[in-house]
Amino acid sequence: METSLSRFLALAASIIAAITAGLVFYSYGTADGPDRMDVVRAALITITTWWLAWGAAQGLLGLTSRAKPPVQRLAGPILGRTVIIVPVYNEDPQITFARIAAMNASLVATGETAVFHFAVLSDTRSDLIARAERQWFARLVRETGAEGRLFYRRRALNTGKKAGNVEDFITNSGAAYDYALILDADSLMEGATIVEMVRRMEAAPDLGLLQSLPKIVRATSRFGRAMQFSAAFYSPVFARGLAIMQGKTGPFWGHNALVRVRAFAESCGLPVLAGSPPFGGHILSHDYVEAALLARAGWVVRLDDDLEGSYEEGPENIVDHAKRDRRWCQGNLQHSRLVLAPGLRPWSRFVFVQGIFAYIAPVFWMAFIIASIMAPHFAPGPDYFPDPDWPFPVFPPDASFKAIGIAVGVFGLLILPKLLIVVDAAASGRAAGFGRSLRAGLSTLAELLLSSLTAPVFLMYQSRSVAQVVLRRDGGWPTNNRGDGTLTLGDAWAASWWISLTGVLALAVTWYSAPGLLFWMLPVALPMIAAPWIIAWSSRAQKSGGLFETPSDANMPPVLHLHDTWLARWSAPAAEVPATENTRLNA
């Protein structure tokens, strides 16, 4: 009942807000006489406002409740066996295997290690990196004393990318396990969190997938720190709203999630779509599809937003974020082939639509801007004597207040949930972990300012990604860049000169075609022109003790401390260990 009601309220509120914005804008646009471009712009503002209102509704839903663990939880001995899957693809093996060593040590502290195994699934294409993986794996086994619980294998062909890697393991080795914790190479989870997730799954026989809420850690750049703050401060609230709406048809984000192996094996075989990429071939955004397939088969897919101790790393600069976003864009647009797949739950289809809309919404904003610039060429000439029987001129009413009202409303949808989160955090005491209420508020204002500056840049990157996919350009699966993400101004210029040029042209065309809109274009065009400087500046390290403080800064999570300890221990190069010296290397 709660799920259905929350969905109805969120949809109703967002649709009402969208229609209201569209009608008000149409009234503003037709003040000097209606024309076709007024209809186009009103339709575009309606669509884009719905997307903003939908996100705001999700945040407001999260603010109306508090995180609470499910009633069901197995307190006795763990009965099933769990494999912790760590897919790797051209990663630094020393850092990756130190994460495994840290999680293993954290599990040892729980006393439950006997029922937990680790499987490193390598899709690495470089023979040099693969050789290093085998060497570091041998050292990992030797120094952890976990012989028999740690396994490594490298595929000859990386068919299906990460999804194919996991599917291959489940097909060939999944029968040995009851549960599988799927991670990314940069994932870290506390042993107690892993054990708690298994206990919850064992207590709920219909639970097919349990998703945790990963927090970003290790960020050092201004951009990365802002993302880390957002993930720690805003995301729990928005995730709670998402969990309320999705109910038993919850999300899967591809990592830091526990799956029931039998359910996954029976339900989640992914098809190879007809045709060539980007719309055909192997499914890139496999996680949404796997969640939908589990729900179709009757399994519960659940997000428990109360789970702590789940971590990941994020990109340190806008360019790396845009590269990763390009893959997600292609994967989400590929879901247009699956929206009408047989047997899916209605909410799963709606999730596909949301994922698609997340990337085409910027295109609608771009279209609205272009339509507004071109609108004067379609507007009818002024008619000061509309009534032939009335000798005095009739001047059109000033509708400026309507335009201002729409701008305030759109901006409010973006910032209101975040400001309310600040108030809620101060009232609940949660702000203490973010430098107390004043610093949390200042960090929020700084994040809003940075988001305002970077939004036009992301608008351009996402619009280009959509255009590339529509034009059938396959973006592939690029390797993630980890570690120091500092970019020089030259690097940033090479990655964004076209955005600067577009900003200059936008201002020039606006000044020529619609000079009245020049002031309104400045907040969009100026950040575009300054894109290289914004990208380079935001990629530089932020001084410690400043804004964007998170709880993990003052109190380092134990598993992160363990990771640092293992890295320090492994600071000296490991001796080479040929693969043939360890029978577990290719298990």
Domain count, the chain: 2
CB 103 within 8 A of CB 84: yes
- The pLDDT profile of the chain, 587 residues, written as one tens digit per residue, is 578 889 999 999 999 999 998 888 888 777 666 778 889 989 999 999 999 999 999 999 999 877 666 666 667 788 899 999 999 999 999 999 999 999 999 999 999 888 999 999 999 999 999 999 999 999 999 999 888 899 999 998 888 889 999 999 999 999 999 999 999 999 999 999 999 999 999 999 999 999 999 999 999 999 999 999 999 999 999 999 999 999 899 999 999 999 999 999 999 999 999 999 999 999 999 999 999 999 999 999 999 989 999 999 999 999 999 999 999 999 999 999 999 999 999 999 999 999 999 999 999 999 999 988 887 776 555 544 455 665 544 445 555 555 566 667 777 888 999 999 999 999 999 999 999 999 999 999 999 999 999 999 999 999 999 999 999 999 877 777 777 789 999 999 999 999 999 999 999 999 988 888 888 899 999 999 999 999 999 999 987 667 899 999 889 999 999 999 999 999 865 444 444 333 333 44
Whole-angstrom distance, CA of residue 157 vs CA of residue 62? 43
> What angle in degrees, to the nearest 10, is found between the helix axes of 235-246 and 2-29?
110
Kindly state whether residue 350 falls inside one of the protein's structural domains. no
Single-letter residue type at 26: Y
Whole-angstrom distance, CA of residue 429 vs CA of residue 91? 39
The burial class, CB within 10 Å (0-12 / 13-18 / 19+), for 443 is: buried
The string of DSSP letters for 238-271 reads HHHHHHHHHTTB----SSSEEEEHHHHHHH-PPP
Query: Nearest-CA neighbor of 374 among 521, 510, 505, 499?
Result: 510
Give the list of residues 6+ apart from residue 349 with CB closer than 8 angstroms, or none: 292, 339, 340
Q: What is the CATH number of the domain that holds 127?
A: 3.90.550.10
Which of these three, 262, 280, 315, is where a domain ends?
315
Strands 257-260 and 179-182: antiparallel
Kindly state whether residue 450 falls inside one of the protein's structural domains. no
CB 516 within 8 A of CB 403: no
CB 189 within 8 A of CB 183: yes
Cite the DSSP H helix spans in 484-517.
489-513
Kindly state whether residue 98 falls inside one of the protein's structural domains. yes
Q: Taking the CB of residue 546, how many other CB atoms lie within 10 A of it?
A: 14
The 8-class DSSP code of residue 221 comes to B
Single-letter residue type at 290: E
Residue with tokens 């190879």: 272
529's tokens = 């022109």
Kindly state whether residue 67 falls inside one of the protein's structural domains. no
CB 464 within 8 A of CB 456: no
54's tokens = 């939908």
CB 378 within 8 A of CB 33: no
State which residues form the domain around 102: 82-315
Whole-angstrom distance, CA of residue 550 vs CA of residue 224? 12
The string of DSSP letters for 292-309 reads HHHHHTT-EEEE-TT---
Kindly state whether residue 117 falls inside one of the protein's structural domains. yes
Q: For the chain, give me the number of helices (H) and strands (E)? A: 19, 10
CB 224 within 8 A of CB 485: yes
Whole-angstrom distance, CA of residue 213 vs CA of residue 506? 40
Kindly state whether residue 243 falls inside one of the protein's structural domains. yes
Single-letter residue type at 215: K
Which of these three, 315, 331, 359, is where a domain ends?
315
Whole-angstrom distance, CA of residue 158 vs CA of residue 87? 11
Kindly state whether residue 370 falls inside one of the protein's structural domains. no
Q: Order of strands across the sheet with 150-154? A: 150-154, 116-122, 82-88, 179-182, 257-260, 207-211, 300-303
Kindly state whether residue 390 falls inside one of the protein's structural domains. no
| Three-state secondary structure of 270-296 | CCCECCCCCCCECCCCHHHHHHHHHHH
The 8-class DSSP code of residue 566 comes to H
CB 317 within 8 A of CB 538: yes
